[in-house]
Structure 1
Amino acid sequence: MIVFRYLSREVLLTLSAVSAVLLVIIMSGRFIKYLAQAASGALDPGSLFLIMGFRLPGFLQLILPLGLFLGILLAYGRLYLDSEMTVLSATGMSQQRLFRITLFPATLVALVVAWLSLSLSPQGANQFQLLINQQDAMTEFDTLVPGRFQALRDGSRVTYTEQLSDDRINLGGVFITQKNLSSDTKKDRGISVLVAEKGRQEINPDGNRYLILENGYRYDGKPGQADYRAIKYDTYGVLLPKPEVSDEVTDRDAMPTASLLGSDDIRARTELQWRLSLPLLVFIVTLMAVPLSRVNPRQGRFLKLLPAILLYMAYLTILISARSALEKGKIPPTLGLWWVHSIFLAIGLGLLYWEPLRLKLASRRSVLEVARG
């Protein structure tokens, strides 16, 4: 029992440290991406941390299996270097028994990953898509930042204001340029430039929103041609797009697991198999990590680390490729993703039983040589 607690604690502590580092790295990269979108006006800066919270379960369901794999390699590798594992082996600790002990922390991780992949991650993805739908429904004035040019997603209009009130109603020093496209042929009919000393947003009872500009000019024409038209105005009204928030969730990873059960749609069946594959992945990588963690103290703890990581990446890459092929109908649904797990399960069993089998064969060879001599 003491050895069981000791080994489990070493694996879980290393798992936590490795997973925390990986999570910080991945979250930092994604946060920088969303921060750039917020700086360009595509996202509301106030929703960044909410977005990261919704995306967290999806990150963790992929990080935890890798963290467990590296945790076993590093924790047991240190025990081999410090000759602690040699002492345990002398007391009867075989690779198979070590694997059975490691199944306890692996089962805890598998349960957490199952909870994330089957329940929490789809809920987070659902809330993330609803939030993105709300962001898409916002006009450029909802995310406008004073002193910065703000472009629509399709690039048809660019807006600039020097001043903006806290309630985002009144603007000062307004500049707007937009492309004039033909409604039927979508051909470029030049650009229009609006400048005004000030402006304000008005919302009619019917829900239509207008930008009312005061004391400014409008310029119409095509770049490179000298046929511009200039109009001075005291008041000019611009109809703003009416925001429409969609409640429809189309991403497969945002669908509840219950709705995937019994579905005949190949994409839904693929998504269900993917969610079930992640907890199964935990046990198979544990099976591979235990024998791969065995190192010679003279060789160093990192000798097998790179090949082990390459083996894990091959497993995950083939699994993702099989998922894509299954969605496209290139793999029979009955075969699904299970053939990938079967291959690496066989590899893990081979790694686990190869060393005892080799020692057994070497012992028999020695006995035969002694008998012949």
Structure 2
Amino acid sequence: MIIFRYLTREVLLTLSAVSAVLLVIIMSGRFIKYMAQAAQGLLDPSALLLIMAYRIPGFLQLILPLGLFLGVLLAYGRLYLESEITVLNASGVSQQRIFAYTSAPALLVAVVLAFLSFYLTPYGMRQVETILHEQDALTEFDTLVPGRFQSMKEGGRVTYVEEVSSDREQLQGVFVTETQVGAKSKTVDNKKISVLIAKSGQQVLHSDGSRYLVLEDGYRYDGQPGQADYRVVKYDTYAVLLPKPSVGLTVSDREAMSTTELMAGTHQRFKTEMHWRIAIPLLAFVVTLIAVPLAKVNPRQGRFLKLLPAIFLYMAYLALLIAMRDALDKGRVSNAVGMWPVHALFLCVGVVLLYWERLRYRLSKWRSVTAKDVAHA
């Protein structure tokens, strides 16, 4: 029991550290992407934290199997390097028993992954989908931030306001520039620029649902850079149609569906998603079976000798699962087969690695017996 607690603690501590680092890296990349969307006025900045919070279960669903795999490799690699497992082996604790001990944290991770895969991740994706739909209902006016130039239409429109009222109905110090490309050419020389400047503005909603930014007391400048034939118009009131910003972030409908809805669905995409959700918890057991024998290293070689090949093996496993999911989507593989051949393949790889020493011993013994028989003959 002491050995079991010790090995479990080492694996869980390393798993937690590795998963935390991977989660921070992935969330940082995603957050930068969302921040870029918000800076362009495509997302309401107040929705960023909510989106990130609801995406965490989906991130963990992919991180935890890798974290468990690396956790076993790093934790047991250190124990091999410090000859602790060598002492355990000399005390009668075989590699198979070490795997049995490691199955407990693997079971814990599999239960967490099942909860994430079957419930928490779909729930989070549904909430993200709701937030994105709310963002689609916003206009450029709703995402304006005072004192910041915001780009819309892939840089075709740039808007700046000095002040925005608390109810977001009134603007002060408005600057809008829009680039129009000629029909015959899209070169810089053929671009025309329109600049609107106004002291104030307000949002007006029409009965058909369209919204306009009504500018008051300002000027409009139309012209082409480098040319003198520009036009200046002074206006008392000027209306600009507010386009809806395209968020550019999508959520797959099957990812946001609950497990009960997937089981009741008849479309092949729903069945494929169900296979994928089942595959995630199974991944924890199979990678543990592979990681335990791969963690064995010679103290003279260092603990990172087998780390790179092991990661390649894990990536091959994940890549085959993704390829099988694509094949299921396209109907190339039947639902009865599903992703089980991939699991079976790497399960066999793990069993061979786990019993490799015993298999090699029996093979060498069989060869020696065969050689003696041949010599006597």
Classify the TM-score, shorter chain.
Answer: 0.7 to 0.9
Aligned position for 1:277: 279
Aligned position for 1:82: 82
The alignment status of 1:6 with 2:21, answered yes or no, reads no
1:126–1:108 CA distance, 2 compared to 1 (3 A): same
1:2–1:363 CA distance, 2 compared to 1 (3 A): farther
Find the aligned partners of 1:300 and 1:9 in 2 and give their Cα distance.
22
Find the aligned partners of 2:331 and 2:140 in 1 and give their Cα distance.
41
Query: Over aligned residue pairs, what C-alpha RMSD do you find?
Result: 3.2
In the TM superposition, residue 342 of structure 1 has moved relative to its aligned partner by: 1.5
For structure 1, which segment, 2-11 or 227-236, has the greater mean C-alpha deviation from structure 2 after superposition?
227-236
Aligned position for 1:47: 47
TM-score by length of 1: 0.87
Aligned position for 2:266: 264
Partners of 2:140 and 2:242 within 8 A in 1:
no
Find the aligned partners of 2:66 and 2:180 in 1 and give their Cα distance.
52
Give 1:360's aligned amino acid: R
In the TM superposition, residue 360 of structure 1 has moved relative to its aligned partner by: 3.1
In the TM superposition, 1:332-343 aligns within 5 A as 332-343=334-345
SS at match of 1:301: coil
Find the aligned partners of 2:45 and 2:20 in 1 and give their Cα distance.
25
In the TM superposition, residue 219 of structure 1 has moved relative to its aligned partner by: 4.7
1:242–1:31 CA distance, 2 compared to 1 (3 A): closer
1:88–1:274 CA distance, 2 compared to 1 (3 A): same
In the TM superposition, residue 326 of structure 1 has moved relative to its aligned partner by: 2.1
Aligned position for 1:329: 331
CA-to-partner distance for each residue in 1:16-69, whole Å, 9 max, x for gaps?
111111111111111111122222222122222111101100000111111111
Partners of 2:125 and 2:251 within 8 A in 1:
no
CA-to-partner distance for each residue in 1:280-307, whole Å, 9 max, x for gaps?
1111001101111111112111111111
1:201–1:344 CA distance, 2 compared to 1 (3 A): same
Partners of 2:41 and 2:245 within 8 A in 1:
no
Partners of 1:140 and 1:150 within 8 A in 2:
no
The alignment status of 1:146 with 2:146, answered yes or no, reads yes
In the TM superposition, residue 249 of structure 1 has moved relative to its aligned partner by: 7.2
In the TM superposition, residue 260 of structure 1 has moved relative to its aligned partner by: 0.8
1:369–1:91 CA distance, 2 compared to 1 (3 A): farther
CA-to-partner distance for each residue in 1:160-202, whole Å, 9 max, x for gaps?
2233334333222222344789xxxxxx997654321221234
Aligned position for 1:118: 118
In the TM superposition, residue 71 of structure 1 has moved relative to its aligned partner by: 0.8
Give 1:55's aligned amino acid: R
Find the aligned partners of 1:343 and 1:250 in 2 and give their Cα distance.
29
1:369–1:339 CA distance, 2 compared to 1 (3 A): closer
1:153–1:270 CA distance, 2 compared to 1 (3 A): farther
In the TM superposition, residue 218 of structure 1 has moved relative to its aligned partner by: 3.5
Find the aligned partners of 2:311 and 2:237 in 1 and give their Cα distance.
66
Find the aligned partners of 1:153 and 1:107 in 2 and give their Cα distance.
49
Structure 1 residue ranges without an equivalent (≥5): 182-187
Partners of 2:198 and 2:216 within 8 A in 1:
yes
In the TM superposition, 1:99-110 aligns within 5 A as 99-110=99-110
In the TM superposition, 1:220-235 aligns within 5 A as 230-235=232-237
The alignment status of 1:164 with 2:164, answered yes or no, reads yes
1:341–1:158 CA distance, 2 compared to 1 (3 A): same
Give 2:99's aligned amino acid: F
In the TM superposition, residue 257 of structure 1 has moved relative to its aligned partner by: 1.1
TM-score by length of 2: 0.86
The alignment status of 1:354 with 2:356, answered yes or no, reads yes
The alignment status of 1:66 with 2:66, answered yes or no, reads yes
State, as a whole percentage, how many aligned pairs show the same letter.
64
Aligned position for 1:199: 201
In the TM superposition, residue 153 of structure 1 has moved relative to its aligned partner by: 4.2
In the TM superposition, residue 102 of structure 1 has moved relative to its aligned partner by: 0.9
SS at match of 2:234: strand
1:268–1:153 CA distance, 2 compared to 1 (3 A): farther
1:316–1:78 CA distance, 2 compared to 1 (3 A): same
Find the aligned partners of 1:268 and 1:101 in 2 and give their Cα distance.
36
Residues matched between the structures, number: 366
Find the aligned partners of 1:265 and 1:175 in 2 and give their Cα distance.
50
In the TM superposition, residue 159 of structure 1 has moved relative to its aligned partner by: 2.3
Find the aligned partners of 1:227 and 1:11 in 2 and give their Cα distance.
73
SS at match of 1:135: helix
In the TM superposition, residue 368 of structure 1 has moved relative to its aligned partner by: 7.8
